[in-house]
Chain A
Amino acid sequence: MFTYVLKTLWRHRTRTLLTVTGAAVAMFVFCFVGSVQEGLHRLTTGSDADRSLIVFQENRFCPTTSRLPEDYSRKIKEVSGVRDVMPIQVWTNNCRASLDIVVFNGADPQQIKSTRPLTLTNGNWETFAKQRDAAIVGRNVAQRRGLKTGDQFSIGDISVKVAGVFSSTVPSEENLIYTSLAFLQYTRGLDAAGLVTQHEVLLTDDADPDQVASEIDATLRAGSVATKTRRKGAFQASTLSDLVDLIGFAHWLGYACVGLVLSLVATTTVMSVQDRIKEYAVLQTIGVRPLRAMRLVLAESTILCLVGGIAGTGLAMTALAIGGFAIGAEGATIAFRPSIGLAATGTAVSLVVGVAAGLAPAVQAATVPIVNALRQA
């Protein structure tokens, strides 16, 4: 009987193709929205977000306006619960929300190597550590900008040579470009000798992040510049607050896509069953049980939805994997990455929607008054 379902779909291939395409497009958007949500979630949760702190200038938001003394790191290190401190100079080409934000982080190469979850996919750390204008580039930026090891590139007044390309277990890291701290501090226009944008604080295993944050701010209260210290996740969420609201709203778009697939496949299946109501009457006349007739319709709607859903999900995963998409604001970025969870969700949603879309027409096919249906021309 499965052959009958497949042949029916093939026989009406224009209708099938249009429905599958519609479902694929909707599931593509659903997965894209999902990847944005996942990116934000990854950025604001997890060990990197919860077990490290960012010390920033109080009441400042854009990295260009936060100017902390570099030697604050020595005082921060004395606070109980602090394992390591990494002074970071941040430079970005755009403080506002952008899909092509480029963020440079200047820090000590040895500290970057020892504290950041980075793996060089090509190039080497030695060149990065020794060469003053060397930079290692996150995989997403390299993909987006077509950069490879050995390339020289300039953005604004900054001109660097690519010493390597790295991947990271923290997707947002792959949107960054790391240089040495000194290089970025002495870049023309920054005038930041002895100053940094922020200090990243790594905590000991038993430290309470919020308590340490309060102690750091209290310790530095007497310094030349007041600070505001927060967990890295909270700092990034605050930095991206406008985007967070938008992304929060975007989940409705995801639900709308699911609704779209549901109505599309349901409409197609209802039309298909109504067109072939006599066929279902014939099938029941020769002995097909009503429940089996119901299963035939459900199989039809589920196949339509699954094929479209899997195609859309697959395309979205491919686009996310090779596109290196990210959105950022004020030096923080949200990476859109594919994930097994997202692929599984896309497939599961397609399956559930396929079954749901077929329910009403399936009941119609199963309960058709046989004699009346057979009389139809």
Chain B
Amino acid sequence: MALVELRGVSKSFRKGDETITPLDNIDLDIEAGEFVSLMGPSGTGKSTLLNLVSGIDRPDSGTITVAGTEVTGLSRSKLADWRAANLGYIFQTHNLIPVLTAYENVELPTLLLKLSSTQRRQRVELALEAVGLSDRADHYPRQLSGGQEQRVGIARAIVAHPKVVVADEPTGSLDTETSEQVQGLLQRLNKELDITMLMVTHDSDVARIASRQMVLDRGKFLERESGSIGEGEIGRGGIMQVGVKESGAA
């Protein structure tokens, strides 16, 4: 059984009089330890899919099972507990709590778990070390650069030892050099800590760091096992030209 399973997932939005259905009867399997990148034109439902897998949004129909738990059937409180124990979320805009230091931001998810203060401290220190920010533990977000803020966000996402980490455009707000550092970090975390990752990105270069690259277009997944995705392959209404296979039952 895959770690993440989506079966017949649909989601629609109303925009004025129009109903938009970015996800229409989608199926998806992600195995444990996989690093999946998801690309596609704007408005095709990449972030929506990420939010559904995270349990912060609910599908109109279909089921989502993560690590054996069907998240679509959980109450809001149970979903929060489930996220605390199983999910790490990396935001595009970091979303650190401004009044807390880097250490306290990373510590937040561990406060929701049953850990001793020693265990908590060890985890936070390890997470900060993993992202190379041990020396910035006492700094507030306003005292950090954009790249450092994102690394704190990544440390916060992995500190609770989640089964899945989802990343919504993790390099979207970073310059090229910092973006490359963050890409390297994500790759290293996937390989060294065996963290299952699902990443949404607009950038085909960033998508290439994943072991499986997928494109979501007009409600369907287009997938290639490895290799590169060219910029020209992605566009509204476009279809990948080379080496792709359709997946899902849409």
B57 within 8 A of A: yes
One digit per residue, 1 when the CB lies within 8 angstroms of any chain B CB and 0 when it does not, for chain A 1-24 equals: 101100110110000000000000
A207 within 8 A of B: no
Q: Within 8 Å of chain B (Cβ to Cβ): is A199?
A: no
Determine if A231 is an interface residue (Cβ-Cβ < 8 Å).
Answer: no
- Interface residue total, chain B, C-beta cutoff 8 A: 27
- Please give the distance in Å from B48's CB to the nearest CB on chain A: 8
Let me know if B56 and A371 touch, CB within 8 A.
Answer: yes
A153 CB to nearest B CB, Å: 59
**Interface assignment of B116: CB less than 8 Å from any CB of chain A:** no
Secondary structure call for the A interface: helix
Interface majority SS (helix, strand, loop, mixed), chain B = helix
Interface segment out of the listed B36-44, B60-68, B91-99, B123-131 = B91-99
**Interface size band for A:** 20 to 34
In the complex, which residues of chain A have a beta carbon less than 8 angstroms from the beta carbon of B236?
none
Question: Which residues of B60-119 are within 8 A (CB) of A?
Answer: 76-77, 80-85, 87, 89, 91, 95, 97-100, 104, 108-109, 111-112
B25 proximal to A (CB < 8 A): no
Q: CA A292 – CA B77 in complex, angstroms?
A: 10
Q: Is B120 an interface residue (CB 8 A)?
A: no
Which residues of chain A are near B97, meaning CB under 8 Å?
A: 4, 279, 282-283
Interfacial residues of chain A within 15-66, with CB under 8 A of chain B in the complex? none
Residues of B within 8 A of A370 (CB): 51, 56-57
> How far is B74's CA from A290's CA once the two chains are assembled, in angstroms?
14
The answer on a CB contact under 8 Å between A286 and B100 is no
> In the bound complex, what is the Cα–Cα distance between A264 and B202 (angstroms)?
46
Give Cα A374 to B91, complex, Å: 9
Pick the contact of A1 from B98, B111, B160 — CB < 8 Å?
B111
In whole angstroms, how far apart are the Cα atoms of A107 and B104 in the complex?
72
Pairwise interchain contact B76-A290, C-beta atoms closer than 8 A:
yes
In the complex, whether A143 has a CB less than 8 A from a CB of chain B is no
B151 at the interface (CB under 8 A from A): no
Annotate A157-180 by CB proximity to B: 1 below 8 A, 0 otherwise.
000000000000000000000000
Q: Mark A264-290, 1 if CB is under 8 A from B, else 0.
A: 000000000000001100111111111
Q: Interface code B152-193, partner A: CB below 8 Å = 1, 0 otherwise? A: 000010001000000000000000000000000000000000
Tell which of B82, B99, B108 has the most Cβ of chain A within 10 Å.
B99
For A290, give its contact among B77, B87, B98 (CB under 8 Å): B77
Indicate if B204 sits at the interface (CB-CB under 8 A).
no
Chain B residues with CB under 8 Å of A286's CB are 83-84, 89, 108-109, 112, 156
- Minimum CB–CB distance for A215 against chain B, Å: 74
Residue positions of A touching B, CB distance < 8 A = 1, 3-4, 7-8, 10-11, 278-279, 282-292, 370-371, 374
Q: Beyond the given A7-B99, A287-B112, A370-B51, could you list 6 further A-B residue pairs with CB under 8 A, ordered by the A residue number?
A: A4-B97, A11-B98, A283-B97, A289-B80, A290-B77, A370-B56
